[in-house]
Amino acid sequence: MSRAGWTVRVLTLFPEMFPGPLGHSLAGKALEAGLWSLEAVDIRYFASDKHRSVDDAAFGGGPGLVMRPDVIDAALAAVMGVAGPERAHPDAGPLIYLTPRGRPLTQDRVRELAAERQVTVLCGRYEGVDERVLEAWKVEEISVGDYVLSGGEPAAIVLIDACVRLLPGVMGDAETLAEESFEGGLLEYPHYTRPQEWRGRKVPEVLASGHHENIRAWRRAQSEATTRERRPDLWAAIGRHRQ
């Protein structure tokens, strides 16, 4: 097994959730081949009281519990190999906290993260993490969508999966990547395969014509129409780029 080129470290209360789905299919084969590596770190290990508590009641009241800054700080210090946030090495790579309050994850950011040597991901539970430890460690906050999950682990799996498929040697065909949704700011065109007619529905004629120029134009038009209809935000951003 060769040394992994891309490393992700996940701080979690549920290390047994990893690699989970990332141990299968494309990501799993790449993991086995040593193209990337994953280290799941148990946050509870860094709790210092006799009950190994990692959370406490929220100041200001409210029903939920909050993850303690001292425990998260100790876990981060151990993972980063430094005494505290003021010692964090600039080459340690991005430090990310997954939260619905974060900036939405985009394919552009995924591309940047996949180009790093190492990425560290903090998964929240309960109401989330005490704000001070996020400030102290200058953590980047990322959301995987405008909905609330019960924990950061599924979000971490989403982020890692999106990065891993971009790593060199993971996907066979670089052209596939170049034509996907979000490349060039558009959603992808629709796909069809055999049989050419199914339940009375025919594959668009142009796709079976063998006329590459017409196929390219048809796909481009489909991409544009779908993006305009489903994602006016993306469509508007393309318009701004062209101005």
Question: Which CB atom, from 34 or from 62, has the smaller least distance to ligand SAM?
Answer: 62
Residue 126 CB, nearest distance to ligand SAM (Å)? 6
Burial of 103 (0-12, 13-18, 19+ CB in 10 A): exposed
Choose between 85 and 151: whose C-beta lies nearer to ligand SAM. 151
Output 127 or 179, the one with its CB closest to ligand SAM: 127
Least distance from C-beta 167 to ligand SAM, angstroms?
Answer: 22
Please, what is the minimum distance in Å from the beta carbon of residue 127 to ligand SAM?
4
Binding positions for ligand SAM, rule: CB under 6 A: 98-101, 123-125, 127-128, 143-145, 147-152, 155
**Minimal distance, residue 38 CB to ligand SAM, in Å:** 18
Q: Could you tell me the end-to-end alpha-carbon distance of the chain, in angstroms, rounded to an integer?
A: 49
| Strand 118-123 versus strand 95-104 pairing type | parallel
Q: How far is the CB of 102 from ligand SAM (least distance, A)?
A: 6
Cβ closest to ligand SAM, residue 30 vs residue 98: 98
In the complex, minimum distance from the CB of residue 48 to ligand SAM, in angstroms, rounded to a whole number: 22
Nearest CB to ligand SAM, comparing residues 85 and 100: 100
Query: CA-to-CA distance for 181 and 68, rounded, in angstroms?
Result: 39
Order of strands across the sheet that contains 95-104: 36-42, 6-12, 118-123, 95-104, 140-143
Instruction: Say how far residue 6 (Cα) sits from the centre of its chain.
Output: 14
Please identify, using beta-carbon distances, which residue of 47 and 155 lies nearer to ligand SAM.
155
Within 8 A by CB and 6+ apart from 150, the residues are 125
Element (H, E) at 198: strand 197-198
Neighbours of 97 (CB within 10 A): 24
